[in-house]
Structure formats: C-alpha cells, structure tokens
C-alpha cells in the first residue's frame, strides 16, 4: 500500500445558480476587471489516503465525493491531482 | 453630533442603528449610500450589521471596495470616529482599519444574548461606561471568531486595544462564556489611534426595556460624551 | 393568431401527456379549449397551471367552506398574501406556505427557497417583512437521515432569513415516525405596511407593460409545481436537477427595490414568480384583472443560452418577480432596479384581446382563448370515507395501557416527557436564527407562548404562532382541526394579544384515496368551526397534498398560522414564572382524557384513543379572560397546557428560562380522584397555567367570563424543588434535573451525527 495525496475541486454544478460566483464576478467588474466572464466559487480538498495504486486512490476519493464531499444535487467534483506522498 | 450610517447592498441593521441614534440618543443620523462619495458632514460613521454582498467570498471582503469606503478610510485617517458593528466590524477588518480577522465561528451561526465586559473606556464607543462594567446584549453572527497571531494579540492587549470581552455572569472571561471560539474571548477591539472601534455584539438591539436590556445605550452615549468632550 | 409547434418540439403523444401529469380527461378538456392539438409549450403551461399546487383542483370546493371575512380583513384568500387592518392606518400582510417536497430532496436549498418564496409573497403586497415563523415536522431523531434533514432544513432557514435581516421569532417543531419519509417544512412571514400602500397582483390597463424583474431565468426547478403534487418515491431521486438554489443577497436587494418601486407609483401590480414561474404569475395576474396578455420569451433575461420558451415559461429560478408597469414608465422602473444592481426587462404587455399568448420573437408558440386559464381547470370531488383502522385506534381504551415500572415515580415520567424532542427546548434550533434583528422583538423563541414583535412607530405589538398537532387530526380530523385553531389562538392570547386572523398550510396525503380526502374534508370543517367561533377568519394559505412516501401518508397536518394584536406592547406576557411567592392559577379544568397524548406516544409507543374534546365556547372564554388579565397587568406569566399536559406546562414555566429557573409547590387535590396520569399528563384543552401577584383579582376576572379558575400553588425558589401533590402519588423533582432533561435533549440527539454532514441518499429515509 502506498500513501497518496489526492486533490479535489468541488464546484457548483454547471447551469445551477451560483450566487457567490455571481457576486464575485460583479465585484471584479466593478473593480475594473472587465475581462472576467464568469467566476465559480467552490471548495478545494486535499485528502491523504493509502491505496494499492494511484487508480485505486482516485476511485476511493471519487466514492468519498459521491457520498459525502460533494452534494450530488448542486455540485460537481473533479479530481485535480493524485500524487504519491 | 451627526452620525452617518453606511448602507451597503445586503446591510440589514442600518435602520436599527439609525433608531438607536435618533430615537434613543436624540441626535441626528443620516443613511449613506455605498455608491456615494460623500459622508454628508458626519462626525461619526457607523458600519452597520448585515450581510453586505451576501457575505459571499469572505464576510466584508467585497463591501470594503464600495466607493464610499474611500471616504470612510480618509475620515478614519483624519482621526474621525468609525464604529463597526458585526458585519461592519468584519468590513473594517477587511479594509485594514482594524487589526485581525473574523473567521467562521467554531460552532456555527449563533443568535443569543451575551455578556461583555468593558475593558477600556478611552474610546469613543466605551467612554460613558466604567472599566469592568458588564453589559448584556444579543449576538447574531456566523463569522465572529476574532483571530490574529500571538504577537499581534499580545500587542493589542499591551496597548489596551481589546475593548470588549465575552464574560460569564460573574464577569470572568471563561471558555463557557465564549460564544464562537474567539481568541482570548475578544468581542471588540480598536485601532492603534483608538478612533476606529469594532465589535460583534449588537448594542443597537439593547436600547429600551422592550428589548429586555438597555445596556447598549451606554455605548451610544459614549459617542455623545466624546463629541462633547 | 394560432400557435404552431417550434422546430424540434416533441410530438404530443399519450405518453408525453401522462409524463406531464395530465389525465386523459384533462387532456381532452385542453384540446376542446384550444379546438386543436396543443403545442409542446402549451402542454407544459397547462401541466403547471392544472397541477394541484397551482389549481387547488381537489381542495378548492372544500376550502370554500372556510370563513374569510371580518371587518378587519382587507384582503382575503386569492392574493399573494392575506392582509388585515390593525388600526391607525396600519395593516399586516401574512401568509404560510409549504416547501415539503423540495426539502425532502435537498433540505438546505429546499428550506431556504421556501423562506425566500414566502418573503416575496409578503413584500409584493407592499409590506415590509418583520417576522418569520416555521412549522416543521420530522421523523424520529434516531434515524441518521432525519438528523441530516433537521440539520439541513434549520441551516437553510437560518442562512436565508438571517441574510435578509428578518427575525425568525417563533414556530413549532414536532417529531413523529409518521413524517419519516416526508418531512414538512412550512414557512410563515408577517409584514407591516400602511393601509394605503397595499398593492394587489391584478394586471390592469390595456397597453401597460409586463416586466420581468430581479434575477435572470435559468433552467432551475422546471416543473417544480407538478413535482410538489406527486408522492415522494425512489424515482424522486432522479428528479433532483429540479431543485432550485436560493440567493438571499439578491432577494434582499429585490425586497428593497420592490418596496421602493411600490412607493414610486410606477407599477400597478406585482407578483412573485414562484411555483411554475412566469407561467403561473402571468396567467394569475391576467385572470384577476380579466385581461389578455402577450409575452415574448426572447425578451426574458436568461442565465443560459439556448433556453426554449417551454423552459423559460416553466423555470422556477428564484428571486424573480413579474411587474405590471404603467405604459411608458419602464425607464423609471428600470432606474429603481438599477440602483439596487438588479435588472428589469419589458417582456410583454396587457392586451384587450382576451387571450393568453406567448411568442418567441414573431412565432406564436402558445395561445389560449379566454382569461380564465387557471380556474378553467377541472375540479374534483373525490370520495371521502374514514379508514376503519383509524376508527378502531380512536375507540381503543387507552386507560388500559399498562404503566411501566419506572412510572411508580411520576417525576421519572415528567423528566422523560420533558426530553421528548417534540416537547424539549428548541434552543438548538432557534440559536441558529437571528431573532432580534430590526430591534422590535419583545418575546422571541421560547420566551412566551407566541412571539411578540413591536410595530415600530406605534405602541402596538403583534403576537404570532404556528400550531398543529397532527396526531390529533389523524385520530379525529374534525376535533384535531378545531384544536389546531384553538391552540394557536390560545397561545397568542397567552401573551395578552387578541387573535385576529389565520393563514393555513394544509399538509395531507394523496386526496384520491378516500380515507385521505375524508381527513382533508373533516379537518378543514373543524378548522372552519373554530375560526367562526373564535372570530379569526382565514385570509389565505397553501395546500400541500401527496405528502406520502412508501411508508404511507404523513399525519394530516393543517398547520395554523395565527396573528394577534396587543394595543400596548409593554403589556405583553411571557411564559416563565417571574417571582417567588406568586400564586399559580389554573384556568380550565383537568379531565380524565388521555387519548392521542404525547405521554402515550413517547412513553408507551401508543398512538391511539380519542383526542381531547374541544369546547369552542370555552376556548373563547379563556381567550377573553387572558386578554383582560394582560390588559389590566394582572399576569406575571401565562402558558397553555398542550403536549405533555398540566405537569409539563407547570415545568416549562419553571425551567423555560434556563438562566433563571424557579421551583413550584402545587396541590391538585381538587382533582385527586382522576387517574394520576390523566391528571398530570392528559392533554385536556382550554387550560392555561398563569402566575400572578394578585390571585383574587385573577379569579374574579375569570369568573366574569365563566372560566373555571383555581389557585393551585405558589412559585418558589429553584432550590426548594418542584413539587406536585394531591394526586394518587406525589411528584417531587429537582429543578436542575428537569432543566437538564428539557434543555439537553435536542443537542444530545443532534450530536449523534455532524449536523452539516452531506450524506445525500434520499432513498435511505424512504425505505427506513
């Protein structure tokens, strides 16, 4: 078994209202960052776990996301990185 | 005395502050629109409670960039009095007008009466109280855990910048009296020049017998005492 | 003009019609109305408008039996909210609404958007919201899924109301396995305005502009209204994308902008875009105004590209409103919205031709003749028959239920009842709600039998409360319906307020089942009896049917939201004893009744027996007595006897204020011949425990109203203990023991799982 550090982005599901992202977008516009098209605000999680290999570590974190870390009603998640650590 | 109360989008305690000043202090108050650039001759500026910009991103993080904050910061630099209550405290910290930061409570949003002890009376929002006086008033916030590094905290204590502390019924700053996990039971602080004061509890909700406490009155009277001094 | 399908519209088939929840008969009615096959857009519109949620097709004939008028009622049912006068040119708008199904699927957003919707209903009348209440029903806290729902619902309510700056001041929360798969989340809002600021949602004036105001339209919650009209089943899981997300910050801006807009006089009507969104708001406004409307979906500000007219019309994106502006004043309306960083777009106009027309640019995608799109739906008079199983439960002799061994000490039973989640302190919940913002709260959660909120600028205060014991309604819907109203009125009167009017939220199962429709008909009948007897007309509300899951229907729960008036806010009365030596007086009479009690349910797991009798003339006399006692400042405290009976009421007044507990020395020998558990824990109605420094005067006032009243003891120091004698066995308890049972029960139950854990598995709760 190896230790892995798995990073996950949890973001509001595409198409679902993201009030926080909307407010931040408008604030950036008012500060002069006119080029900003869209902002989405989510969570970044770093999970230290042991697994047989990288694929198993990722599969296990996916299961965690589906069960607990992301709200399947309103959020999507993506595995940002899986590194041995 | 004229008190300017800033209305940010999402502020919701500006009317309460207005009533505290006008109805209970008998002084003049004016609501200042966040997009304006004019304090309208206010002697004192209150940054009121609420959820400016929904408290999205971080509490107070977006409001500090409102146009009127340029004038509020200039007013503070000139030595003018600024009082931040609850969300106003958070905005003042984000704007760098006050030291430290207000983080998420360690036990979630809390709405309840608390007792705070007045630690120093040499500010415009504590002058009419006496040192050690215990005041009861409500808190209602999710992000009130005052946080700074140890060196900063020691400096604040040393310079007498911790103005209000959560205490129990006997006046002791115990863990049980700490409603949000705030460091050293800090409920309110002032800046080094002592003209900007921030606190999480709501004195404007403890002004008359109907509120169940009139302990907030002495803090507002402090503004008047200072203005007349 | 006639509507034609868009390129790519699905072909109308019987399967598609069924998917839209229309029966074959209803579909034929639609075809007859149009004299042709509907377009896909038209099918979607009618599916939403003829859903139970919008049309009340199963409930309207029964609802018509409710009293709705009184001299102080300015606006009865049929508007965004009811409105009553409180004198001196001031008025109160208030309404209660359910968000049960969305909360079962996504508790946080479901509850939050429920709060958002009811707030909009009140401020679109021109009133500033001054208080929120919530009536919640959950399954047993032993179930992890239920704890997850409680945590999510409470946080959703708190986060939305707190951000809006509207204090959440009262409510009622009950726990029973009957709500396991289908929680009830009913939110009530109370607002205040000057009478001359009242505005109605009635489209008027040919040529006036129809404007979409507030947030942009996305694909949120499409078909939520028809979703709210189905049983919750495993398939609901797959319907998840329908759940909407709330944005309280935008709503706060919308509130301020709306009140400014109404004051400006630029608009003639405003309606919330709630369930079925643009479709129902535009159709209902047209119907009230008896005018035609024409809307162009290309002009609706959208959040996502490529939205079809079908999606735009049925979207339930939150924080949006439909405004009818005076012709030529759209620029002024836009300027007000712009000040608050909100958008407003002209999307159509009021037309003389009596049609409901929707265009996508030049293409007519929907056109209905007439202006009665909503009330032209079919109405049903389902069969009603009481379930023999419930008759048998009601007729069971509950006095035969054997006592548990521990009950030899009645103090054990009392402590255990005080820890029942339905009875225990709800501070764990109310601490998450800002109850003091606006600085008008005289009594917030737990301080009095109803919340008391001062009306700023006057000496007056409003008292408000939600109530309904679903177990009573289940065992006898007629009596249960009466008690729901009587208890809410009694609670309001305990503060010294005169009960004025009612809003109701009728949560029932599937009305097509005869035993459910029987409950509905009888419970509404009982409510009507009580509303007439107590002079508290119904000014509006909401019907939520199909509250069922695989384990069955919820208890029939016709939640009552009652509003009352105190002319002098300083006369408001709380529920906690104030001073040692005060006399404790019982208004009303203990009886031999034990049926349907919390005692039987919580101590014995028995749901049976007849609920206590409800004597409406007696209730009215008790209310009159309380109002007079408070007005003459004779009361130190007043608390009604409800779940848990007399012993629990006596205890709650002693320990309700945890920081200042009191003891009591009470003697009930007058009724010593009653079975002890009926005397202590039976739930006989019409009873109130009051404390006073002047018992003689209290007894004299009660006598003039014909209310039985008797001094039963004194308030003592907490250290003197809690003592009730005179029954078959004496009850002696430590005040601190009772206080811990009462105050620690809910936090301990919720600690069993992190309240904010995301364990989204709706099916788990449904099959449990």
Residues belonging to chain A: 85
Q: Between B56, B109, B211, which is nearest C162 by CB?
A: B109
Q: Is the pLDDT of residue C494 over 50?
A: yes
The string of pLDDT tens digits covering residues B16-36 is 999 999 999 999 999 999 999
**Is B204 designated active site?**
yes
Q: Which domain holds residue B146?
A: 2-228
Q: Which chain B residue shows the shortest CA-CA distance from C255? A: B10
Of A21-25, B23-27, C611-615, least confident by mean pLDDT is: A21-25
Q: Is the pLDDT of residue B126 over 70?
A: yes
Could you say which DSSP state residue A68 is in? I
Q: Which chain A residue shows the shortest CA-CA distance from B62? A: A27
Q: Is B56 on the interface with A (CB under 8 A)?
A: yes
- Return d(Cα C739, Cα C466) in angstroms, integer: 25
Average pLDDT over residues C585-603: 98
| DSSP strands (E only) in C396-469 | 441-443, 451-454, 461-467
Contacts of C205 (CB under 8 A, 6+ apart): C268, C291, C324, C326, C327, C350
Model confidence at C550, pLDDT cuts 50, 70, 90, reads confident
If you write DSSP's letter for every residue of B172-191 in order, what string do you get? ---STT-SS--GGGEEEEE-
Contacts B56 to A, Cβ<8 Å:
19-20, 23-24, 41
Model confidence at C763, pLDDT cuts 50, 70, 90, reads very low
Q: Is A8 on the interface with C (CB under 8 A)?
A: no
pLDDT value of position C224: 55
If you write DSSP's letter for every residue of C20-79 in order, what string do you get? TT--HHHHHHHHHHHTSPPPHHHHHHHHHHTSHHHH-TTTHHHHTTS----TTEEE-TTS
Which residues of C, range 212-241, sit inside 8 Å of A by Cβ? 215, 218-220, 240-241
Beta bridge partners of C173: C136
pLDDT value of position C767: 26
Burial of A30 (0-12, 13-18, 19+ CB in 10 A): middle
Which residues of A, range 28-67, sit inside 8 Å of C by Cβ? 67
Question: What is the helix (H) or strand (E) element at residue C374, kind and residue range?
Answer: none
Work out the minimum CA distance from C160 to partner chain B, whole angstroms: 10
The string of pLDDT tens digits covering residues B77-125 is 999 999 999 999 999 999 999 999 999 999 999 999 999 999 999 999 9
Chain center to CA of C335:
36
Instruction: List phi, psi (to 5°) of C55.
Output: -100, -20
pLDDT value of position C301: 95
Contacts of C536 (CB under 8 A, 6+ apart): C485, C489, C499, C500, C501, C502, C530, C562
Contacts of C614 (CB under 8 A, 6+ apart): C479, C482, C483, C486, C530, C685, C686
Q: Are strands A75-84 and A2-12 parallel, antiparallel or unpaired?
A: antiparallel
Contacts B112 to C, Cβ<8 Å:
431
Question: What is the helix (H) or strand (E) element at residue C622, kind and residue range?
Answer: helix C616-631
Mean pLDDT rounded to a whole number for chain C: 93
pLDDT value of position B111: 98
Q: Partners for A (CB, 8 Å, 3+ pairs)?
A: B, C
Put simply, the answer to whether A24 touches B56 (Cβ < 8 Å) is yes
pLDDT value of position B105: 95
pLDDT value of position C760: 41
Q: Which chain C residue shows the shortest CA-CA distance from A12? A: C245
Could you say which DSSP state residue C438 is in? T
pLDDT value of position C243: 67
For helices C616-631 and C695-704, what crossing angle results, to 10°? 140
Q: Which chain B residue shows the shortest CA-CA distance from A22? A: B56
Model confidence at C761, pLDDT cuts 50, 70, 90, reads very low
Of A13-22, C149-158, C474-483, least confident by mean pLDDT is: A13-22
Contacts B53 to A, Cβ<8 Å:
23, 27
Q: How many alpha carbons lie under 13 Å from residue C378 in its C-beta half-sphere? A: 15
Contacts A23 to C, Cβ<8 Å:
249
Put simply, the answer to whether C430 touches B108 (Cβ < 8 Å) is no
Residue C328, classed as helix, strand or coil, is coil
Question: Apex CA C285: angle with CA C283 and CA C288, to 5°?
Answer: 105
Residues C517, C386 contacting (CB under 8 angstroms) = no
Q: Is the pLDDT of residue C233 over 70?
A: no
3-state secondary structure C628-658: HHHHCCCCCEEEECCCCHHHHHHHHHHHCCC
Model confidence at C231, pLDDT cuts 50, 70, 90, reads low
pLDDT value of position C764: 33
- Return d(Cα C318, Cα C246) in angstroms, integer: 6
Using a CB–CB cut-off of 8 Å, the residues of A that contact B are 19-20, 23-24, 27, 30-31, 41
Structure tokens belonging to residue C429: 């919940």
pLDDT value of position C651: 98
| DSSP strands (E only) in C554-708 | 557-566, 583-587, 637-640, 662-667, 688-692
Q: Between C155, C433, C659, which is nearest B111 by CB?
A: C433
- Return d(Cα C146, Cα C549) in angstroms, integer: 14
Q: Is B109 on the interface with A (CB under 8 A)?
A: no
- Return d(Cα C301, Cα C304) in angstroms, integer: 9
Put simply, the answer to whether B51 touches C341 (Cβ < 8 Å) is no
The string of pLDDT tens digits covering residues C43-72 is 999 999 998 888 889 999 999 999 999 999
Mutate to test the interface with B, among C318, C434, C573 (most CBs of B within 10 A): C434
pLDDT value of position C230: 53
- Pick the catalytic residue from C53, C58, C101, C705: C53
Contacts A14 to C, Cβ<8 Å:
none
Residues C244, C224 contacting (CB under 8 angstroms) = yes
- As a 3-state breakdown, chain B gives helix, strand, coil percent values, each rounded to 5, of 30, 30, 45
Q: Are strands B2-7 and B44-47 parallel, antiparallel or unpaired?
A: parallel
Q: Is C247 on the interface with A (CB under 8 A)?
A: yes
Mutate to test the interface with A, among C156, C238, C244, C245 (most CBs of A within 10 A): C245
The string of pLDDT tens digits covering residues C330-342 is 999 999 999 999 9
Task: Tally C-beta pairs within 8 A across B and C.
Answer: 85
pLDDT value of position C204: 85
Q: Is the pLDDT of residue C226 over 60?
A: no
- Pick the catalytic residue from B34, B141, B202, B211: B202
Q: Is C602 on the interface with B (CB under 8 A)?
A: no
Residues C20, C44 contacting (CB under 8 angstroms) = yes
Model confidence at C235, pLDDT cuts 50, 70, 90, reads very low
pLDDT value of position C242: 58
Contacts B65 to A, Cβ<8 Å:
27, 30-31
- Return d(Cα C496, Cα B95) in angstroms, integer: 47
Structure tokens belonging to residue C34: 């149009």
Residue C11, classed as helix, strand or coil, is coil
The string of pLDDT tens digits covering residues C681-702 is 999 999 999 999 999 999 999 9
Residue C551 falls in which region: left (phi positive, over 0), alpha (psi -120 to 50) or beta: alpha
Q: In what order do the strands lie in the sheet with A75-84?
A: A43-51, A2-12, A75-84
The string of pLDDT tens digits covering residues B168-214 is 999 999 999 999 999 999 999 999 999 999 999 999 999 999 999 99
Put simply, the answer to whether B57 touches A24 (Cβ < 8 Å) is yes
Q: Partners for B (CB, 8 Å, 3+ pairs)?
A: A, C
Instruction: List phi, psi (to 5°) of B65.
Output: -95, 5
- Return d(Cα C463, Cα C190) in angstroms, integer: 10
Contacts C248 to A, Cβ<8 Å:
19
Spell C169-190 as b/e; 16+ CB within 10 A means b.
Answer: bbbbbbbbbbbbbbbbbbbbbb
The CATH number for B116's domain is 3.40.50.880
- Return d(Cα B3, Cα B27) in angstroms, integer: 8
pLDDT value of position C766: 29
Model confidence at C236, pLDDT cuts 50, 70, 90, reads very low
- Return d(Cα B15, Cα B19) in angstroms, integer: 6
Put simply, the answer to whether B9 touches C437 (Cβ < 8 Å) is no
Instruction: List phi, psi (to 5°) of C728.
Output: -60, -35
- Helices of type H across C459-607: 470-475, 477-494, 514-534, 598-604
- Pick the catalytic residue from B86, B94, B190, B211: B86
Work out the minimum CA distance from A47 to partner chain B, whole angstroms: 22
Model confidence at C377, pLDDT cuts 50, 70, 90, reads confident
Contacts C145 to A, Cβ<8 Å:
none
- CA-based nearest residue to C75, from C125, C118, C28: C125
The string of pLDDT tens digits covering residues C286-332 is 888 889 999 999 999 998 888 999 999 999 888 999 999 999 999 99
pLDDT value of position A30: 87
The number of distinct structural domains making up chain B is 1
Higher pLDDT, C621 or A68: C621
Average pLDDT over residues C441-461: 97
Contacts B57 to A, Cβ<8 Å:
20, 23-24, 27, 41
- Pick the catalytic residue from B71, B94, B119, B204: B204
- CA-based nearest residue to C520, from C172, C51, C63, C54: C63
3-state secondary structure C701-732: HHHHCCCCEEEEEEEEEHHHCEEEECCCCCEE
Residue C371, classed as helix, strand or coil, is coil
The string of pLDDT tens digits covering residues C515-549 is 999 999 999 999 999 999 999 999 999 999 999 98
Work out the minimum CA distance from B94 to partner chain A, whole angstroms: 15
**Is B202 designated active site?**
yes
Average pLDDT over residues C408-435: 98
Structure tokens belonging to residue C725: 């004698």
Contacts A20 to B, Cβ<8 Å:
54, 56-57
Q: Is B35 on the interface with A (CB under 8 A)?
A: no
What domains lie within chain A, and their CATH numbers?
Answer: 2-84 (3.30.1280.10)
Q: Partners for C (CB, 8 Å, 3+ pairs)?
A: A, B
Model confidence at C753, pLDDT cuts 50, 70, 90, reads low
Mutate to test the interface with A, among C247, C304, C753 (most CBs of A within 10 A): C247
Residue C446 falls in which region: left (phi positive, over 0), alpha (psi -120 to 50) or beta: left
């Amino acid at each position: 078994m190896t230790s892995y550090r798995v990073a996950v982005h949890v973001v509001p599901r595409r198409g679902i209202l993201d009030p926080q992202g909307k407010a931040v977008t408008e604030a950036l516009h008012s500060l002069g960052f006119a080029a900003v098209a869209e902002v989405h605000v989510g969570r970044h999680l770093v999970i230290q776990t042991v697994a047989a290999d990288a694929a198993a570590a990722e599969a296990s974190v996916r299961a965690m996301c589906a069960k607990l870390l992301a709200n399947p009603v309103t959020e999507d998640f993506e595995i940002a990185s899986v590194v041995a650590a | 005395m004229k008190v300017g109360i800033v209305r940010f989008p999402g502020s919701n305690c500006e009317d309460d502050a207005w009533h505290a000043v006008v109805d209970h202090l008998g002084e003049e108050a004016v609501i200042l629109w966040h997009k304006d650039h004019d304090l309208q001759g206010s002697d004192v500026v209150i940054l009121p409670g609420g959820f400016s910009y929904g408290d999205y991103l971080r509490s107070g993080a977006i409001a500090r960039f409102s146009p009127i904050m340029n004038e509020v910061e200039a007013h503070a630099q000139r030595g003018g009095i600024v009082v931040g209550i609850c969300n106003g405290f958070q905005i003042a910290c984000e704007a760098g007008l006050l030291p430290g930061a207000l983080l998420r409570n360690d036990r979630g949003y809390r709405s309840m009466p608390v007792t705070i002890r007045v630690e120093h009376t040499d500010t415009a929002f504590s002058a009419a109280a006496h040192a050690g006086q215990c005041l009861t008033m409500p808190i209602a916030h999710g992000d009130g855990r005052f946080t700074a590094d140890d060196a900063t905290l020691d400096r604040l204590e040393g310079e007498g910048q911790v103005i209000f502390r959560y205490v129990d019924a006997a006046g002791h700053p115990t863990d049980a009296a700490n409603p949000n996990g705030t460091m050293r039971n800090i409920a309110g602080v002032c800046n080094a020049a002592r003209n900007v004061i921030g606190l999480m509890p709501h004195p404007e909700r403890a002004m008359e017998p109907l509120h169940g406490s009139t302990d907030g009155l002495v803090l507002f009277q402090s503004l008047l005492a200072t203005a007349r001094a | 003009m006639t509507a034609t399908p868009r390129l790519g519209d699905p072909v109308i088939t019987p399967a598609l019609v069924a998917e839209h929840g229309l029966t074959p008969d209803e579909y034929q009615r639609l075809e007859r109305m149009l004299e042709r096959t509907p377009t896909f857009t038209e099918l979607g519109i009618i599916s939403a408008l003829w859903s139970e949620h919008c049309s009340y097709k199963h409930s309207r004939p029964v609802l018509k039996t409710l009293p709705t008028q009184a001299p102080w009622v300015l606006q009865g049912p049929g508007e965004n909210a009811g409105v009553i006068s409180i004198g001196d040119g001031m008025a109160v708008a208030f309404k209660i609404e359910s968000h049960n199904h969305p909360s079962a699927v996504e508790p946080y957003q479901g509850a939050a958007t429920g709060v958002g919707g009811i707030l909009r209903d009140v401020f679109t009348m021109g009133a500033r919201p001054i208080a929120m209440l919530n009536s919640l029903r959950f399954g047993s806290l032993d179930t992890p899924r239920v704890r997850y729902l409680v945590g999510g619902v409470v946080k959703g309510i708190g986060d939305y109301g707190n951000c809006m700056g509207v204090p959440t001041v009262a409510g009622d929360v009950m726990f029973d396995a009957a709500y396991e798969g289908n929680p009830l989340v009913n939110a009530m809002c109370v607002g205040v305005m000057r009478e001359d600021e009242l505005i109605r949602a009635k489209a008027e004036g040919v040529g006036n502009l129809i404007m979409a105001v507030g947030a942009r339209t996305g694909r949120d919650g499409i078909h939520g209204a028809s979703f709210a009209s189905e049983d919750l089943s495993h398939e609901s899981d797959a319907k998840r994308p329908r759940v909407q997300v709330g944005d309280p910050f935008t709503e706060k801006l919308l509130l301020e902008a709306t009140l400014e807009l109404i004051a400006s006089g630029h608009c003639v009507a405003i309606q919330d875009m709630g369930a079925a969104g643009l479709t129902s708001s535009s159709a209902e406004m047209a119907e009230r105004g008896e005018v035609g409307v024409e809307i162009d979906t290309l002009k609706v500000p959208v959040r996502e590209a490529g939205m079809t007219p079908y999606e735009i019309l049925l979207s339930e994106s939150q924080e949006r409103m439909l405004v009818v502006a005076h012709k030529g004043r759209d620029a002024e309306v836009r300027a007000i919205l712009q000040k608050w960083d909100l958008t407003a777009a002209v999307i159509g106009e009021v037309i003389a031709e009596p049609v409901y027309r929707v265009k996508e640019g030049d293409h007519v995608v929907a056109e209905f003749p007439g202006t009665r799109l909503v009330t032209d739906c079919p109405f049903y008079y389902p069969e009603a028959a009481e379930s023999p199983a419930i008759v048998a439960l009601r007729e069971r002799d509950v006095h035969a239920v054997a006592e548990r061994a521990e009950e030899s000490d009645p103090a054990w039973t009392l402590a255990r009842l005080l820890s029942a989640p339905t009875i225990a302190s709800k501070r764990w919940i109310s601490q998450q709600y800002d109850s003091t913002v606006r600085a008008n709260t005289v009594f917030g959660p737990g301080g009095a039998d109803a919340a008391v909120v001062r009306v700023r600028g006057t000496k007056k205060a409003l008292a408000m409360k939600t109530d309904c014991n679903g177990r009573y309604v289940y065992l006898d819907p007629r009596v249960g319906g009466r008690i729901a109203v009587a208890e809410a009125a009694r609670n309001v009167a305990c503060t010294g307020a005169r009960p004025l009017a009612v809003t109701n939220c009728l949560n029932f199962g599937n009305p097509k089942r005869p035993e459910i429709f029987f409950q509905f008909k009888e419970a509404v009948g009982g409510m009507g009896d009580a509303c007439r007897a107590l002079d508290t007309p119904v000014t509006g509300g909401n019907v939520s049917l199909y509250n069922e899951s695989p384990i069955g229907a919820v208890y029939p729960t016709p939640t009552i939201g009652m509003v009352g008036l105190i002319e002098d806010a300083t006369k408001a009365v709380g529920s906690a004893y104030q001073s040692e030596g005060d006399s404790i007086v019982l208004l009303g009479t203990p009886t031999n009744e034990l049926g349907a009690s919390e005692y039987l349910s919580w101590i014995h797991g028995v749901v049976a027996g007849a609920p206590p009798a409800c004597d409406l003339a007696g209730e009215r006399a008790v209310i009159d007595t309380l109002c007079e006692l408070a007005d003459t400042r004779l009361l130190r405290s007043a608390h009604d006897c409800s779940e848990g009976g007399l012993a629990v009421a006596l205890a709650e007044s002693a320990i309700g204020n945890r920081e200042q507990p009191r003891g009591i020395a009470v003697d009930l020998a007058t009724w010593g011949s009653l079975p002890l558990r009926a005397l202590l824990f039976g739930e006989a109605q019409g009873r109130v425990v009051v404390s006073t420094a002047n018992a003689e005067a209290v007894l004299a006032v009660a006598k003039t109203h014909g209310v039985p009243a008797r001094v039963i003891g004194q308030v003592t120091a907490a250290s003197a203990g809690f003592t009730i004698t005179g029954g078959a066995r004496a009850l002696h308890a430590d005040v601190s023991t009772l206080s811990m049972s009462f105050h620690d029960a809910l936090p301990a139950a919720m600690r069993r799982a992190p309240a904010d854990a995301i364990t989204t598995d709706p099916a788990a709760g449904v099959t449990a």
